[in-house]
Amino acid sequence: MLRNALARVKDGPFEIEHLTRLDDGLSRLQKGDVDIVLTDLTLADSAGIATFDQLYASVPHIPIMTLSAAEDEPLAIEAVARGSQGYLSKGHFSSYLVPQSLRNIIQRKAVEESMFIEKARAEITLNSISDAVIGTDMAGNVDYLNAAAEAMTGWPRAEARGRSIGEIMPLIQNGTRQHKANPVELVLQQNEPISLTPGSLLLRRDGSEAAIEDSAAPIHDSGGHIRGAVIVFHDISAAKAMAAKMTHLAQHDFLTNLPNRVLLNDRIAQAIIQAERSGTQLAVLFLDLDNFKHINDSLGHAIGDKLLQSVAQRLRACVRGYDTVSRQGGDEFVILLSEGNNVEYAALTADKILVTLAQPHSVDGHELHVTTSIGISAYPADAKTAESLIKNADTAMYQAKEKGRNNYQFFKNDMNTHAVERQAIESHLRRALERHELILHYQPKVNLKTGEITGAEALLRWNHPQSGLMLPDRFIAIAEDCGLIVSIGRWVLREACKQAKRWKDEGLTPGSIAVNISALEFRRKDFVDEVRAILAETGLLASCLQLEITESVLMRDVGCSTKVLQQLKNMGVQLAIDDFGTGYSSLSYLHQFPIDILKIDQSFVQDIATATGNGIIVSAVIAMGNSLKQKVIAEGVEKHVQLAYLKGQHCEEGQGYLFSRPLAPEQFAALLGAGIARTVYN
Ligand code: C2E
Ligand code: MG
Ligand code: MG
């Protein structure tokens, strides 16, 4: 009967397979390609509801209908309760409704199945994303939470369901800490999506807080009517913390944690606006440590860094909370004194800084002494913008350096000419070499016992077309700053060697010629080769060349210095430490260097027989030199009393105005012929 019913179908017949045993049915179903199962609950090998249960368990996704006799209807109904799609009453199969309802059932099951898959997919997706998602009904009661929302709020889905969104997701405003309406409530009222309410803090179930960013939207049914709302949010605490950190890093100095240039400029600009409004003044202090480079070079960067941190700390303590202490880089600091300051206050502060910084800094067991030079410029008198205030303070700072360091100077308008001059020197210096404006003067080194000239120190002079003869103090530092010292130094070395050789060839005995070497030259990889090449080129004996290097240059990288010194030594060149006593040397290292000569700095020599000094350092250095088998040369000998003292201490050699000022080559040649006057000695 069924076959007949299903064959008479307009839109194509059903393909029917007929089996009589449950076993056969189950194995057929395993092969697939079945749209619907019609089953009698009394089969050859099975009977009753168990028959249905087994079929259903094996193919839950395929619709199953039972065939039932009128008296078996309760059984058929039970099968429906257990998942059957319905039943056909035996004897009514001929109805044209049978094929139609089978088709409906097949289709409905297919739709159900795809909806199930879609729902499962949505569920997995929602639980996999890191954004929290909460759904509510029209009353604002929660009906869904994804895994992220459970974690963020601290409410498990089962407990949250049915509670109001305000209870599950209470919000307060960052800052005011006032309760905030949940965006879902607004969405339900207005039936429109709402995005991003800034500054929201979520109160978790455990009382902790999280900064969140959120957006909410209504859910509509197929008729377009609002049925509820969904809110999506995520934790931005980490992102906020990171953003805050980045901002801090961008505005602060890494080493000292002081505001950097960027933040300082901003603060000055703000302070200017304020001062303009209130008709008050403000001051900018530019600081540069006086002997930082020495310390950094001799004791290393790690100690230099700690010293800068110590300086930063003391500077902070010298100003009020609303003043800004910033680090410009290197050993330069800028301080903004804001809020209605008068000039006296700037001077007071500068004084305080000079005193405070001059106290010894204890760093890694070293007692370090630094002083500082300070330049001050004021708004509105000296400049109107942050940039020019700093620039003018910088210019005034240079003036403080020139005035002997460890002092402060207020900016004056004519100081700018100074800065301009420095600039001019640099640009002229670049051409000085080509234009043959550089010359060497020679100052004799004298044997203190015999009065004989033992050699000369070559000292650089600049025959400046406008300014006349310029001494190295005015341009060597500039040449070092801009790197020109390397080519200048090379020229000096070659010229001095050439000159010495020439004198020898003329039958004079100039002795050894000393050349000053600056840090930049000494550190160059090709320095040793350069010296060797120049000696070869000029034909001067290596033993007739002395190289003068300062302590701090040698101490900078002891390993490297030792290597370079040893190479020079092997070549036969003599090595001298210049300005001995002014740097931070470690005596144990000094002892390792293959040094021939110590040149006692002139400041110690000038200390001999004065009211405050007694030449004690000079004697100590001489004694040390003697025991280390190093020759000691006293620099800056100007007076007889100094000479007498040095002779008494058995200092071997001396150099100074007492014997001769540095001389042009032809004058020096004449002096070589004549010798140092007897009167100087007796
Ligand atoms: P320095 O190497 O210590 O040279 C000694 C300085 O003391 C010279 O100054 C010299 O003129 C000066 N002097 C000599 N005797 C006396 C004296 O009795 N009393 C006083 N008050 N001063 C005396 P100068 O020529 O002005 O050179 C200054 C510094 O410039 C030198 O100090 C040296 O460090 C540097 N320098 C000079 N020439 C060169 C050079 O060719 N290359 C490099 N890198 N530096 C140089
Ligand atoms: Mg020298
Ligand atoms: Mg010297």
Atom 8, ligand 1: which residue's CA is nearest?
459
Atom 19, ligand 1: which residue's CA is nearest?
636
Phi and psi angles of residue 391, each rounded to the nearest 5 degrees, phi first: -60, -45
pLDDT tens, residue by residue, 221-253: 989 999 999 999 999 888 888 888 888 989 999
What are the tokens at 16? 């029917």
Determine the residue of 440, 446, 457, 459 to mutate for testing ligand 1's pocket, defined as the one with the most ligand atoms within 8 A of the Cβ atom: 459
The answer to whether the CB of 660 is under 6 A from ligand 1 is no
Q: Which of 41, 36, 40 is nearest to 14 (CA)?
A: 36
Residue 70 is classified by DSSP as: G
In angstroms, what is the span from residue 579 Cα to ligand 1's centroid? 10
The answer to whether the CB of 545 is under 6 A from ligand 1 is no
In angstroms, what is the span from residue 540 Cα to ligand 3's centroid? 24
Report, as an integer, the average pLDDT of 168-187.
92
Residue 422 CA to its chain's centroid (Å): 32
Q: How many Cα atoms occupy the beta-carbon half-sphere of 547 within 13 Å? A: 32
Ligand 1 atom with the smallest distance to the CA of 579 is: 3
Report the pLDDT value the prediction gives residue 92, as an integer from 0 to 100: 75
DSSP bridge pairs for 441 = 459
Instruction: Give the residue carrying structure tokens 């309406």.
Output: 181
The full set of domains in the chain, from first to last, is: 2-125 (3.40.50.2300), 129-241 (3.30.450.20), 252-412 (3.30.70.270), 428-671 (3.20.20.450)
pLDDT tens, residue by residue, 19-54: 999 999 999 999 988 999 999 988 889 888 999 999
Report which residue type is found at 514: A
Residue 678 is classified by DSSP as: G
The answer to whether the CB of 511 is under 6 A from ligand 1 is no
Report the pLDDT value the prediction gives residue 430, as an integer from 0 to 100: 86
Ligand 1 atom with the smallest distance to the CA of 599 is: 3
Among 365-369, 571-575, 590-594, the minimum mean pLDDT is found in 590-594
The answer to whether the CB of 489 is under 6 A from ligand 1 is yes
The answer to whether the CB of 473 is under 6 A from ligand 1 is yes
Q: For the CA atoms of the chain, what is the radius of gyration?
A: 48
In angstroms, what is the span from residue 519 Cα to ligand 3's centroid? 14
What are the tokens at 263? 């933040």
Q: How many Cα atoms occupy the beta-carbon half-sphere of 622 within 13 Å? A: 20
Q: Which of 512, 455, 454, 522 is nearest to 490 (CA)?
A: 522
The answer to whether the CB of 636 is under 6 A from ligand 1 is yes
Q: Is the pLDDT of residue 105 over 70?
A: yes
pLDDT tens, residue by residue, 123-133: 899 989 999 99
- Alpha-carbon separation of residue 555 from 579, 588, 665 (angstroms): 14, 11, 34
The answer to whether the CB of 552 is under 6 A from ligand 1 is no
| Cβ contacts of 116-119, under 8 Å, gap ≥ 24 | none
Q: 259 pLDDT band (50/70/90 cuts)?
A: very high
Q: 196 pLDDT band (50/70/90 cuts)?
A: low
Report the pLDDT value the prediction gives residue 1, as an integer from 0 to 100: 79
Atom 30, ligand 1: which residue's CA is nearest?
472
- Percent of the chain exceeding pLDDT 90 equals 62
Q: Is the pLDDT of residue 583 over 80?
A: no
The answer to whether the CB of 546 is under 6 A from ligand 1 is no
Phi and psi angles of residue 452, each rounded to the nearest 5 degrees, phi first: -75, 150
DSSP characters over 576-613: EEEEETSS---HHHHHHS---EEEE-HHHHTTTTSSS-
Query: Is the backbone peptide bond immediately before 218 cis, with ω within 30 degrees of 0?
Result: no
DSSP bridge pairs for 335 = 285, 325
Q: Which of 219, 172, 217 is nearest to 194 (CA)?
A: 217
Ligand at minimal distance from the CA of 459 is 1
Q: 659 pLDDT band (50/70/90 cuts)?
A: very high
pLDDT tens, residue by residue, 72-96: 888 889 999 999 988 888 877 766 7
Q: Do residues 315 and 372 make contact, with C-beta atoms less than 8 angstroms apart?
A: no
Ligand 1 atom with the smallest distance to the CA of 485 is: 44
Q: Is the pLDDT of residue 655 over 80?
A: yes
The answer to whether the CB of 472 is under 6 A from ligand 1 is yes
- Alpha-carbon separation of residue 91 from 37, 51, 95, 97, 284 (angstroms): 18, 22, 9, 13, 108
The answer to whether the CB of 576 is under 6 A from ligand 1 is no
pLDDT tens, residue by residue, 480-530: 877 889 999 999 999 999 999 999 999 999 999 999 999 889 988 899 999
Ligand at minimal distance from the CA of 548 is 2
Atom 34, ligand 1: which residue's CA is nearest?
516
pLDDT tens, residue by residue, 517-560: 998 899 888 999 999 999 999 999 999 999 999 988 888 788 88
SS3 394: helix
Q: 312 pLDDT band (50/70/90 cuts)?
A: very high
Q: Which of 216, 318, 346 is nearest to 258 (CA)?
A: 318
Report, as an integer, the average pLDDT of 340-367.
89
Residue 252 CA to its chain's centroid (Å): 9
Query: Counting every residue, how long is the chain?
Result: 682
pLDDT tens, residue by residue, 262-273: 999 999 999 999
Q: Is the pLDDT of residue 340 over 70?
A: no
Cα-based torsion angle of the residue sequence 66, 67, 73, 79 in order, rounded to the nearest 10 degrees: -10
Judging by beta carbons within 10 Å of its beta carbon (0-12, 13-18, 19+), is residue 570 exposed, middle or buried?
exposed
Report the pLDDT value the prediction gives residue 94, as an integer from 0 to 100: 66
The answer to whether the CB of 654 is under 6 A from ligand 1 is no
Q: Is the pLDDT of residue 315 over 90?
A: yes
The answer to whether the CB of 33 is under 6 A from ligand 1 is no
Q: Is the pLDDT of residue 136 over 90?
A: yes
Atom 35, ligand 1: which residue's CA is nearest?
472
Average pLDDT score over the chain: 91
Ligand at minimal distance from the CA of 599 is 3
Determine the residue of 635, 639, 660 to mutate for testing ligand 1's pocket, defined as the one with the most ligand atoms within 8 A of the Cβ atom: 635
Q: Which of 501, 491, 576 is nearest to 541 (CA)?
A: 501
Report which residue type is found at 166: G
What are the tokens at 375? 């330049």
| pTM for this model (two decimals) | 0.53
Determine the residue of 439, 516, 578, 638 to mutate for testing ligand 1's pocket, defined as the one with the most ligand atoms within 8 A of the Cβ atom: 516
